[in-house]
Structure 1
Amino acid sequence: MILYSGIDADRRQVQTIALPKNRRDPLHREWTKPSYNPVVLLPADVSADNFRDPTTLTTTAWLGRDGLWRFAISAVASGVGTTLVFHSADFLRWERNAAPLHASRDAVMAECPDLFPVAARGAEGLDTSARGPGVRHVLKVSMPDTLLDYYTVGRYDDEADTFTPDEDVARGRGGDYRSWRRIDHGHLYASKTFFDARKNRRVLWAWVNESDSEADDVARGWSGLQSFPRALWLDPAGRQLVQWPVEEIETLRRGRAALLGAEVESGGLREIGGIASSQADVDVVFEIPSLERAEGLDGNRLLDADALCAEKGASVRGGVGPLGLLVMASGDDLREHTAVFFRVFRLLHGEHTVLMCTDLTRSSTKAGVYRPTHGGFVNVDIEKDKSISLRTLIDHSIIESFGGGGRTCMTARVYPEHAATGSSHLYVFNNGSDAVKVPRLEAWELATASVNVVPEEEEDGLAASSNMCTSSAYY
């Protein structure tokens, strides 16, 4: 069943359902809309154009201990940005919970809410209805004023159907969603998760919209795309999510280029050849021999990583960093390239912090393209580890990067003009004061995925295939 937002004859947002026409079709290619829609009308205290995005697809409703199904939905109720909860025994007749799941007077309207459980320890995902000892919950919202996704870890009270964030900055109903952690520090929005019972993991999908012109959308014939799917879990400290590309992406790897035990001098640039890098998977570890030259940083600068990355771009020489990758590069002239990199700073009391950036200022020479600089700090102990990892997935116009094993994620949209007429190049670079070591760099071409392909053999109406692109179609 799909529960989705619609608009009635009076232009009010309401909630409606659709049912699969043929339940034995593993791809669910045809759907029907029953005549008794809508199943949830606009509440009296909710504004007509702010009642949308229910959490419920078949895998994101949850079952309470009372045997009733629940879903969460974004709304503006009595002028307050609110996440409401509705419950039902049959998915047809729904009642609103007396208390909101969460409310924020500082953020009028959120979108695309998602409430899901995570294990307090370990990387395995949990069924959406999981509760009890060892279970924490994550509440995630999308903010239309910033086009960013925010989340916090907290406690879901399954009797009162309310959620309380752990962190002080988000406590209480007055907490601003925009003070929460970011799902992604780049160009990613409207994420949703589901529980994959086959592999015991929680998987996140998201929307990556365009940042060139509407005329370009029309010329292409499409607009917006879906991110790579990510598995996610709670970090050992219990404060943030870790995200990592699902393992099936590795089955698309073709060809391999490697750089092992290398050293990149100050101001150095080394090309990674031998693969077509416009559709690639790059995994690299940088070893930092010394932190002595790390630049000092005022603690107030930690509040705006985007601005810090814009000021300290890839071409701005530093102490420890900038060091990282140049991807979707036009060649030796580097007239077009996107930089994904790290820079280490020393704070007032002597501790160090790692800044991760994606610099799009030279990603395209095309006019009218939005070319921002994305930034975020990576929660790693650089003093202890003396190294940091970066995995970057490249698919022509989309670049998704995972720093520190997935503790900080960053998505970018790029529109290099050279890609239409020539090949793209991949480089590792270091613009810091000292040489850095690259104990391991591996890069693979990625084959094109086969999407919605019906396998030749089917069993009980389900595709007998473990391939990501066929199995994901019927999660």
Structure 2
Amino acid sequence: GPLYYKGLYHLFYQYNPGSVVPGNKTWAHSVSADLVNWLRLESALDRTEPYDAKGCWSGSVTVLADGRPAILYTGADDVKNQAQCIAFPSNSSDPYLREWTKPSSNPVIRPDGPGLTPNQFRDPTTGWTGPDGQWRIAVGAELDGYSAALLYKSEDFVSWSRVDHPLYSSNSSTMWECPDFFAALPGNTSGLDLSAAIPNRAKHVLKMSLDSCDKYMVGVYDLEADKFVPDNVVDDRRLWLRIDYGNYYASKSFFDAKKGRRIIWGWANESDSSSDDAAKGWAGIQALPRTIWLDSDGSQLLQWPVEEVESLRRNETNHQGIELKKGDMFEIKGTDTLQADVEIEFEPGTMDEADAFDPSWLLNTEKHCREADASAPGGLGPFGLVVLASDDMEEHTAVHFRVYKSKHKHMILMCSDLRRVVPEIRAVHTGLWRLLRI
């Protein structure tokens, strides 16, 4: 649940205070004035009631018409039923929002109605208002054995009723986690506030988490039918657009009223073993916050680290005009290899040597990256960076590129290979890869 409130950025996130393995889900809480330096506060939500005895799971924060924020989250009970619960700040004049109250009306939404699976019903979105002035949210669910973003309406944000049709559903999977729904103007890096009037030419984006990654569709929100209508319906979910092709899941966006942009946050989980996590005392990181917007065609999302990240840059090392031939390597010295931001531009001498692109690779890009790794020769590539390398190269990570000829344009494949990274730095490097990946 990220939001901007009374001059501070807030990030509420899933946290287990007693272990590095999943369980005992609470809402941890940190605040920042600049999205870079963070102060950790006490937990906002803990397991205190029968309806959240097995965890205060994911949800969202919505700023209501009176300026008061409200948390909607999923509570899980002792028999694994999931329901949507609400919490309000005990003192909404406190800019730090230190304390939250769960009203006696909880749970406010139960998995009632035909076709619902009680333990596949979670992660309510941020609320928005329709032309009728009523609040709306979407909840990820399994409906009649298929995935759906269920639509609910309310006049007061407390009493909710299920609409007789989903916001959108698909028979390509069984459950969507962490849905996100927002509006964007094609080609405009400014964000849109769902609580304000949305321009007619705006598009809407429906994001969902499945298959260990975050995918999305671009389309229009049909106000009359109260449905999301994708511009393109792709039956094979492996071909759905992705927010990120790296280690990135359960992302959540919010409108930053301070700078008029939409910011998205995602979670990078661990590739270490549980024993490695226990040894270092933590597991999982938040990726860098990113500004996100639609391209000029309105067909896909673009993103970039928030501008505040620039404040972390110092001690620049600059090299230009380096000519590399096949097998050449140029070492960049004078940098902190555990924390570096790399901007690099490659200029091939010719594109004629590029191999033909096989569209079937899009069905499993990770598999193709493993097969076409940095040691496999190609027409135009691989070329790129070797990072976190030991002197003898026994430990290193390759971030490499290949260029392919497609039917009407060239395609670029970007891969990273973590198989030669030592466990102690793999988690740190996952965060670094987020930055390089963007």
Q: Normalization by structure 2: what TM-score?
A: 0.79
CA contact (8 A) 1:104 1:177 kept: no
Q: Aligned partners of 2:140, 2:263: CA distance in 1, in Å?
A: 21
State the SS of the aligned residue for 2:345: strand
Q: Highest relative contact order (Cα 8 Å, sep 6+), 1 or 2?
A: 1
Structure 1 unaligned spans of 5+ = 170-174, 372-393, 404-408, 411-475
The counterpart of 1:50, out of the listed 101, 120, 129, is 120
SS of residue in 1 equivalent to 2:108? coil
Amino acid of the structure 2 residue aligned with 1:258 = N
- Are residues 311 and 33 of structure 1, via their aligned partners in 2, closer, same or farther at CA, if it must alter by over 3 Å? same
For residue 339 of structure 2, the aligned residue among 243, 256, 279 is 279
1:69 shift after superposition? 1.1
Secondary structure of the residue aligned to 2:150 is strand
- Structure 1 window deviating more from structure 2 (156-165 vs 99-108): it is 156-165
**Cα offset, 1:219, TM superposition:** 2.2
* Equivalence for 2:254: 194
**How far has the Cα of 1:8 moved from its partner?**
3.8
User: Relative to structure 1, is the Cα distance of residues 27 and 264 closer, same or farther in structure 2, using a 3 angstrom cutoff?
Assistant: farther
Residues 261 and 400 (structure 1), Cα distance of their counterparts in 2 relative to 1, 3 Å cut: same
Is 2:424 aligned against 1:400?
A: no
With over 3 angstroms needed to count, the CA separation of the structure-2 counterparts of 1:2 and 1:350, relative to structure 1, is closer
2:401 is matched with: 342
Distance 1:312 1:396 in 2: 21
Structure 1 pair 401–16 and aligned structure 2 pair: CA distance change class (3 A):
closer
Aligned pairs for 1:104-143 (under 5 A) are: 104-129=170-195, 130-143=197-210
Contact in 2 for aligned 1:99/1:160 (Cα 8 Å): no
Matched, 1:31 2:100: yes
Aligned to 1:6: 75
Q: Which runs of 5+ in 2 are unaligned?
A: 1-69
1:328, CA displacement in angstroms?
1.7
Residues in 1 aligned to 2:129 and 2:221: alpha-carbon distance in whole angstroms? 13
The alpha-carbon deviation at position 212 of structure 1 amounts to 1.3
Deviation at 1:142, TM superposition (A): 0.4
Over the aligned positions, Cα root-mean-square deviation in angstroms equals 2.2
Q: What is the CA-CA distance between 1:27 and the residue it aligns to? A: 2.6
SS in 2 for 1:260: coil
> As a proportion of its length, which structure holds more strand?
1
**Residue 317 (structure 1) shift:** 2.6
**1:26 is matched by which residue type in structure 2?**
P
- 3-state DSSP of counterpart to 2:322: strand
Name the counterpart of 1:311. Answer: 371
1:258 to 314, 318, 322: 318
| TM-score of the superposed pair, with normalisation by structure 1 | 0.73
Whole-Å separation in 1 of the counterparts to 2:169 and 2:353: 45
Percentage identity across paired residues of the two chains: 47
Between the aligned partners of 2:84 and 2:423, the Cα distance in structure 1 is: 44
| 1:92 match: secondary structure | coil
Change in CA separation of 1:303 and 1:50 when aligned onto 2, cut-off 3 Å: closer
Letter in 2 for 1:163: F
Determine helix, strand or coil for the equivalent of 1:307: helix
How big is the shift at 1:126? 0.8
Please report how far the alpha carbon of residue 178 of structure 1 lies from its aligned counterpart in structure 2 after TM superposition.
4.1
Residue equivalent to 2:227: 162
Q: Which residue matches 1:430?
A: none
